[in-house]
Amino acid sequence: MSDLTGRTFLVTGANTGIGKETVRGLAGRGARVVLAGRSEEKTRAAMKEIADDTGNTDLDHLPLDLGDLGSVRTAAETFLAGGEPLHVLINNAGLAGSRGMTASGFELAFGTNHVGPFLFTELLRDHIVASGPGRIVNVASTGHYRAKGIDWEAVRRTTVTRTAFDEYCVSKLANVLHAQELGRRLEGTGVTTYSLHPGTIASDVWRAVPFGLRQVMTLFMQSTEQGARTSLYCATSPELAGHTGRYYDNQREKTPSEVATPELAAELWRRSEEWVSAYVR
């Protein structure tokens, strides 16, 4: 799609890194884009930069803290109250290298990277269907291949590993599984789903890694502009319109981890519904 005029996109984690470059790519093609994130100051600054760069001022900010399920529900309600359509949701926001728990009681990476986006998607998906045809895109990671499965007790406890990388990989496996099961559930509605690896990108996702180590790491990483390419491909490419639930890397379909089975996807969905049930009633 070279022209996205008349299409509304919502991008989480949109004021920095891959998310900001994704918004820039969409805005440059005429889309209306809602930037969801915690910091209004940083988001307004990103919006001004993108508007100056593209000439597109049809940008808006939506307050959202994915680690706080109350904030997730409020954000969804705020968007829906505006009455505008939503054609594409890009679950881009994520963190790595941070240890702890979310405000809603989940291991920090798992709660921020999966549970919050799961609830946000659930609260918006009927509206996306009604606005369709539409797409839901999960930014995952090649790190999901490292995960051996999901320890259902561990995701409700604080981070155990020193680097938090193992927990991050589990959360990225959850992103892949979520897209798979959501694609199955939305089959025939006109809404398709995708998960993807953006590349190893020098983005703000590594903000919790100690400064010196982060500086060395990013020397060997790709730019955020390169990282946005597969997100834009999954969100807009006409050739993917007939595909759903699949995983992409470098703008090509790729077989996900052998752990990413339909059975595990269904179990994750069941548990995720239970975890967020108080926020969808």
DSSP secondary structure, 13-38, as one string: STTSHHHHHHHHHHHTTT-EEEEEES
Q: In whole angstroms, how far apart are CA 119 and each of 11, 57, 75, 116, 261?
A: 15, 29, 11, 5, 21
Query: Distance (Å, rounded) from C-alpha 199 to C-alpha 217?
Result: 14
Beta strands in 109-244 (DSSP E): 134-139, 191-197
| Percentage of residues of the chain with pLDDT beyond 90 | 88
For residue 272, being part of any structural domain is answered with: yes
Q: What is the count of structural domains for the chain?
A: 1
The answer as to whether 26 is a domain residue is yes
Would residue 208 count as lying in a domain? yes
User: Residue 227 falls within a domain, yes or no?
Assistant: yes
Catalytic, 168? Answer: yes
Compute the average pLDDT of residues 165-172.
97
Q: Is residue 123 part of a domain?
A: yes
Q: Residues of 35-66 as b/e, b for ≥16 C-beta within 10 angstroms? A: bbbbeeebbeebbeebeeebebeebbbbebbb
Per-residue confidence band for 226, with pLDDT thresholds at 50, 70 and 90: confident
Rounded distance between C-alpha atoms, residue 144 and residue 166, angstroms = 9
Domain holding 30, by residue range, is 8-279
Q: What is the CATH number of the domain that holds 88?
A: 3.40.50.720
The active-site residue, picked from 145, 168, 194, 247, is 168
The pLDDT value recorded for residue 205 is: 52
> For position 199, what pLDDT does the model report?
73
State residue 206's pLDDT score. 45
Residue 2 included in any domain: no
